[in-house]
Chain A
Amino acid sequence: MPTHYENPRALEPKLGTPVLPWWRRFVRWAETLPVIVGPNVRVTRTPLGMKVMVRTSNPVRTPFRVSRSGLDLRISVGTVDGEVPWIALDRSGLRGNVRLDGDRGPDLDPAPVSQVAFRLTADDAPAMDSDGRSYLVIAAHLQRMRDSALASPGLSAETLRLEHHRDLSPTARNLARANSGAAYHPLAVLYWSPDRITIERIGQVTHHNLQLLEDDEGIGYYAAT
């Protein structure tokens, strides 16, 4: 424990106070201040003194944050119109679908979130003549949504899901949209290695939850407020 506390008011220098003695008193006073260990503060005491490690901020939780391990993409939970989108548990779709928060529907047990991953294969790599980018997008299949509105209101694995697209150029996008009546929004850009075998880095595009709005000019995604 500190030997004594000095009144900080008594430390206040006045005009004409000699600087060096005041500075020594000030340092002596500062050394007596206790460190109160709270969240994000770690204190290591040694015979020579004390080390204080302060973590300045809590980790920021970003919706739809994409991280990778090999060709497995893990996506943090985010929402579109308050609904959590779905992904297929494997590429063949045999193992069924799962929501990003692990929910698999009313009849099944939830999957551990650690196992919820979007699994890519080398077949998903972009063409060699492109810039080496592909996209993880969120797709709202509006036509299916309208068709299923009477049967089961709300969004489902078929209507709101994450998809991987090798090309988002306007031509390909417009064709895909015309064919499937879907609205896309990129979550992340995947930059592949020059040999198109591994993903080198990920560019995060979306940093917030989304809202789906339809106006005269079509359907778009907006930041949820």
Chain B
Amino acid sequence: MRWVSYWRPLEITTDDASGYRHPWQISLRWAGERDQWEAQIFRDSYVGGPAAREVEAPAMPWRRLPRVTRTRYGDKDPRTPVSPWVSDEPLIPLPAAIWRSLGKDADPVLAGSGETIPQPLLDLGAGTGDELRVDRVEQTFTLSLGGSLAERSRLRLVRALDIVLHVERQRVRLDADTAGELSVVLDLPAATAPYVTAQRARYDPALVPGSILEQFTAALDDTGIDRRLVGRVYLLSRPGAPDRSPIDGTWQPYVDQGLFWNPQHRTTRELNIVEPLRLRFPTGLAGGVGDSLIQATLADINERDALASLLVSQASVTGQYFT
């Protein structure tokens, strides 16, 4: 018997010896006093490049700011919300309103939009919900039910949100007036520092435009902000939780990390303007009878020509992340 107790495991502890955390690593905690989940991004997170740019977290009231940020502001409350740096390790609030539902109790129409639950979460007991798919060509609706009632009663609810890095840059656009004059308009960025947000909407990477038409559309849709996914955060309820259960500390968080290093950001400017023709026609022919008619036609042609020039001209500022 003595030998048995000699080998009995009394205590087994594991110790993460390295303590290494990579940049942009997201950790989550439940703040019971504020009744919400909060995210923290590891402090060694910058947008690199020639200057290590500090990244701003969402603005928060003075009493929620980390001590380091308050010291930087001279311990004087400016009476307006302040954006701390991510390197100050602030706790970014994730209120209940910004979590989107996935799986079992998700809106069937939104569920048909294509967001799937990752396989590891399905293995943990999350389940797909009902999906309503609309076929516009055939004009049919298909409602697929996510399993039997007994199966559905044991499923775990899923909530998700995306933490996204934004870098604002200059944006140029071409304007053409009716006289065919092209002008380049330069919009300066509203925010000078990169910033992160926690957003309800799913982040989808911008498509790389291929054809001229896609380039033109992309240039029109350009908001002057380059986004990059830092991580997608999931919460899993206990098995069998009723639909639309409120989020609390019993939910289990999982992070699908999207960024593991400090990215660099580069802005590329391209300006290649194709001048419009600006057709003119000598007036006074036939005693000036056709002048008004000809001028009206010419104005129309010139306007279309200006638009065509706008289409083939390129005035774009594109941003790019790289390592």
Residues of A within 8 A of B (CB): 1-3, 30-32, 34-35, 40, 45-60, 62, 131-132, 135, 168-170, 173, 184-186, 189, 191, 194, 201, 203-208, 217, 220, 222-223
B87 touches A173 (CB 8 A): no
B9 touches A45 (CB 8 A): no
Q: How far is the CB of B150 from chain A (nearest CB, A)?
A: 20
Q: Who on chain A is nearest to B74 by CB?
A: A194
Q: How far is the CB of A217 from chain B (nearest CB, A)?
A: 7
Number of interface residues of B (CB under 8 A): 39
Q: A48-B5, A194-B71 are in contact. Are A207 and B11 (CB under 8 A)?
A: no
Q: Can you add 7 more A-B contacts, CB < 8 Å, to A47-B2, A51-B13, A205-B52?
A: A46-B10, A49-B5, A51-B11, A53-B15, A56-B17, A59-B18, A205-B44
Write out the residue numbers on chain A whose beta carbons fall within 8 Å of the beta carbon of B23: 207
Cα–Cα, bound, A50→B8 (Å): 6
B18 touches A50 (CB 8 A): no
A131 touches B18 (CB 8 A): no
Write out the residue numbers on chain B whose beta carbons fall within 8 Å of the beta carbon of A2: 3-4, 7
Q: A59-B20, A60-B18, A205-B46 are in contact. Are A135 and B7 (CB under 8 A)?
A: no
Cα–Cα, bound, A223→B323 (Å): 6
A sample of 10 cross-chain residue pairs with beta-carbon separation below 8 angstroms, ordered by A number, consists of: A30-B9, A34-B7, A52-B9, A168-B52, A173-B51, A191-B87, A201-B68, A203-B43, A206-B262, A217-B268
Write out the residue numbers on chain A whose beta carbons fall within 8 Å of the beta carbon of B46: 186, 189, 203, 205
Does B203 have its Cβ within 8 Å of any Cβ on chain A? no
Write out the residue numbers on chain B whose beta carbons fall within 8 Å of the beta carbon of A62: 20
Partner of A217, one of B10, B16, B22, B266: B266
Partner of B3, one of A3, A58, A206: A3
Q: How far is the CB of A223 from chain B (nearest CB, A)?
A: 4
Q: How far is the CB of B196 from chain A (nearest CB, A)?
A: 16
Write out the residue numbers on chain A whose beta carbons fall within 8 Å of the beta carbon of B268: 217
Does B36 have its Cβ within 8 Å of any Cβ on chain A? no
Cα–Cα, bound, A221→B70 (Å): 34
B7 touches A32 (CB 8 A): yes
Does B14 have its Cβ within 8 Å of any Cβ on chain A? yes
Cα–Cα, bound, A217→B20 (Å): 35
Does B12 have its Cβ within 8 Å of any Cβ on chain A? yes
Does B281 have its Cβ within 8 Å of any Cβ on chain A? no
DSSP class of B's interface residues: helix, strand, loop or mixed? mixed
Does B322 have its Cβ within 8 Å of any Cβ on chain A? yes
Cα–Cα, bound, A57→B43 (Å): 21
Partner of A40, one of B10, B17, B68: B17
Q: How far is the CB of A44 from chain B (nearest CB, A)?
A: 9
Q: How far is the CB of A79 from chain B (nearest CB, A)?
A: 16
| Among all A-B residue pairs, the 3 with the closest Cβ atoms | A49-B10, A49-B8, A60-B20
Write out the residue numbers on chain B whose beta carbons fall within 8 Å of the beta carbon of A207: 22-23, 44, 261-262
Q: A31-B7, A50-B9, A217-B266 are in contact. Are A185 and B18 (CB under 8 A)?
A: no
Write out the residue numbers on chain B whose beta carbons fall within 8 Å of the beta carbon of A46: 10
Q: How far is the CB of B40 from chain A (nearest CB, A)?
A: 15
B7 touches A169 (CB 8 A): no
Q: A60-B20, A168-B50, A203-B43 are in contact. Are A53 and B13 (CB under 8 A)?
A: yes
Cα–Cα, bound, A191→B89 (Å): 14
B4 touches A3 (CB 8 A): yes
B4 touches A203 (CB 8 A): no
Q: Who on chain A is nearest to B21 by CB?
A: A60
Cα–Cα, bound, A138→B43 (Å): 21
Cα–Cα, bound, A15→B72 (Å): 65
B4 touches A55 (CB 8 A): no
Q: How far is the CB of B50 from chain A (nearest CB, A)?
A: 6
Interface hits, B264-284 → A, CB 8 Å: 264, 266, 268
B6 touches A47 (CB 8 A): yes
Does B258 have its Cβ within 8 Å of any Cβ on chain A? no
Cα–Cα, bound, A45→B2 (Å): 12
A57 touches B17 (CB 8 A): yes
Q: Who on chain A is nearest to B262 by CB?
A: A205
Q: How far is the CB of A36 from chain B (nearest CB, A)?
A: 12
